[in-house]
Amino acid sequence: MSQFSAFGDALRQSIQSFDYSPRVDEYGTVRSIMDDVVQIDGLSTCHYGEVLQFDGGHLGLALDLREDGVGAVMLSGATEIVSGSFVRGTGHVANIGVGDSLLGRIINPIGQPLDGRELRCDKFRPIESPAPSIMDRSPVNQPLATGLLAIDSMIPIGRGQRELIIGDRQTGKTSIALAAMINQRTEQNTYCVYCAIGQKGSTVAQIADTLKNAGAMERCVIVAATADDHASLQYLAPYAGCAIAEHFMLQGKDVLVVYDDLSKHAAAYRSMSLLLRRPSGREAYPGDVFYLHSRLLERAAKLSDAQGGGSITALPIVETMAGDISAYIPTNVISITDGQIYLESELFNAGIRPAVNVGLSVSRVGRAAQHKAMKDVSGSLRLDVAQYRDTAIFAQFGADIDQSTAQMLRHGERLTQLLKQRQDDVMSLAQQVAVLVAFDADLFDTVAPKDITEKRGDMLRFLREHCEGTMQAINASGKLSPSDREMLIAYCKRFFGGGSSAKSE
């Protein structure tokens, strides 16, 4: 009996201490579903951006709040939802797993792995969050090198900057972004996030293989919403990628984020908005598409030392039609970013890669963050390229030109060949400086234009073997001392077999 008595006392004590707090879940019902957009009756306490759970565990996102119901987009299982299905609010906004476990992985915008391997994340972060305040930011004063001579010398990018890459289809926009990501493989404090929005699945796989073959994938995260995915996933992709980048930034890391591309992102948002019966604005786009991209790109920043000193550098990509940069989406993003790299179809078709139009390309921040060594050797480079391309147009018509103009055309033709570069052929700061020093000393004037690229590679290999100390000093300090310049010129002359005499300092 004593055992039963003890058991009864324990049971009474457990009942007395039991605290019952009932949870109240508000349910709604699906009124209609069309093209992954759901109209729901009920859910009067739902919040904007709240994750909704449907029958079968499928998820949706509330994007339109009305007095008589909610408009939502499906994130999964749209084909299994029918009119009358139950739906409840989860009480939290959309979030995504973050952390080092994502490095080297390919995921979708809701954190599910796409590379066939298991993924576990201990930390989560809201997909949308406020941009850092002005007081939490610091000036952009550190360069983010892309490894492309044409970009780093004429349109430099700083850590924390937002630099738009814009141009027609198939002009090498993604190649520039990939070159920048590959060039970060030696930076121990820098990570990369690539957001594929509306790209083909094969294209995403090819990009992953390119990064893996270059040894850069282990420091990258790919967030992919392919063309086969719902418009809602394409809409979430850049915000999910930015949330992953923010986690690293708040740890004091530098992050490069590529949004490829925001034209498809705007189109996905437009299709969702029209199905949600939102009012359309200029050129059939919803009037808040500017806010769509501004609240994304404003999250890129260079944090102050008090906030850890991390940064997010954004490279949004926008596709134009027939080179029209005055269209709605291009002008939107141009007004938000700190400059643009404009790629021209005619230059691309002429074999000039990257096909940068120096007249329409600008970096409003990068010069302040450029390495001093690059500043010293690239001062007039942009003007020389622009002047050559303008003059070459008239020379094509057989116009009479004087000797100085002919010399300028010969010089510009060789400079154009020097600036040609493949995405996987990235160059360090010292290599870029050495090429420009040799060009400034007229050492390439005796080389035929078709042999310039090969000669440049041979010269860099020669300098790596015979002038390694000077090259390492330039890379380490970011400066070009007079003695280093003299050393580079001497070894370059030695490589060219005497070459032309160097210009006076």
Count the helix, strand and coil residues of the chain and give each as a percent rounded to the nearest 5: 45, 20, 35
Q: 104-113 pLDDT, tens per residue?
A: 999 999 999 9
Q: Is the pLDDT at 24 greater than 90, yes or no?
A: no
Mean of all residue pLDDT scores within the chain: 90
Q: Is the pLDDT at 404 greater than 60, yes or no?
A: yes
Torsion of CA 132, 136, 141, 143, to 10 degrees: -40
Quote the tokens at residue 176: 């520039």
Which pLDDT score is estimated for 13? 78
Weakest-pLDDT range from 90-94, 161-165, 240-244: 90-94
Q: Is the pLDDT at 244 greater than 60, yes or no?
A: yes
The pLDDT confidence band at residue 285, using thresholds 50, 70 and 90, is low
Fold of domain 377-495: Lysin (1.20.150)
Torsion of CA 403, 404, 410, 413, to 10 degrees: -140
Q: Where in the chain is the domain with CATH 1.20.150.20?
A: 377-495
Which pLDDT score is estimated for 284? 55
- In 3-state terms, what secondary structure has residue 196? strand
| Residues 166, 192: Cα–Cα separation, whole Å | 20
Q: Does the active-site annotation cover 364?
A: yes
Weakest-pLDDT range from 287-301, 401-415, 429-443, 490-504: 490-504
Residue 25, C-beta contacts closer than 8 angstroms, at least 6 positions apart: 88, 89
Q: Where in the chain is the domain with CATH 2.40.30.20?
A: 27-93
Which pLDDT score is estimated for 501? 39
The pLDDT confidence band at residue 502, using thresholds 50, 70 and 90, is very low
Which pLDDT score is estimated for 35? 85
Q: Percent of the chain at pLDDT above 70? A: 93
Q: Beta-carbon neighbour count of residue 304 at 10 Å?
A: 14
Q: Percent of the chain at pLDDT above 90? A: 74
User: Which residue is listed with tokens 């493949």?
Assistant: 422
Strand partners, 464: none
Q: Is the pLDDT at 358 greater than 80, yes or no?
A: yes
Whether residue 412 contacts residue 390, with contact meaning beta carbons closer than 8 Å, is answered with: no
Whether residue 325 contacts residue 165, with contact meaning beta carbons closer than 8 Å, is answered with: no
Burial of residue 291 (number of CB atoms within 10 Å: 0-12, 13-18, 19+)? exposed
Which pLDDT score is estimated for 447? 93
Within 13 Å and on the Cβ side, how many CA atoms surround 58? 20
Weakest-pLDDT range from 76-85, 312-321, 336-345: 76-85
> Do you find a cis peptide bond into 109, omega within 30 degrees of 0?
no
Whether residue 249 contacts residue 310, with contact meaning beta carbons closer than 8 Å, is answered with: yes
Q: 363-380 pLDDT, tens per residue?
A: 998 788 899 999 999 988
User: Which residue is listed with tokens 């493989």?
Assistant: 185
Which pLDDT score is estimated for 498? 55
Please state which architecture CATH assigns to domain 27-93.
Beta Barrel (2.40)
The full DSSP string for 128-176 is S-PPPPGGGB----SB---S-HHHHHHS--BTT-B-EEEESTTSSHHHH
Please state which architecture CATH assigns to domain 97-370.
3-Layer(aba) Sandwich (3.40)
Q: Which residue out of 278, 364, 367, 389 is catalytically annotated?
A: 364
Which pLDDT score is estimated for 500? 40
Q: Residue range 332-354: average pLDDT?
A: 95
Q: Is the pLDDT at 67 greater than 90, yes or no?
A: no
Quote the tokens at residue 75: 């994130």
Q: Is the pLDDT at 204 greater than 80, yes or no?
A: yes
Weakest-pLDDT range from 145-159, 194-208, 241-255, 386-400: 386-400
- In 3-state terms, what secondary structure has residue 343? strand
Quote the tokens at residue 171: 């002009």
Quote the tokens at residue 152: 């780093």
The pLDDT confidence band at residue 282, using thresholds 50, 70 and 90, is low
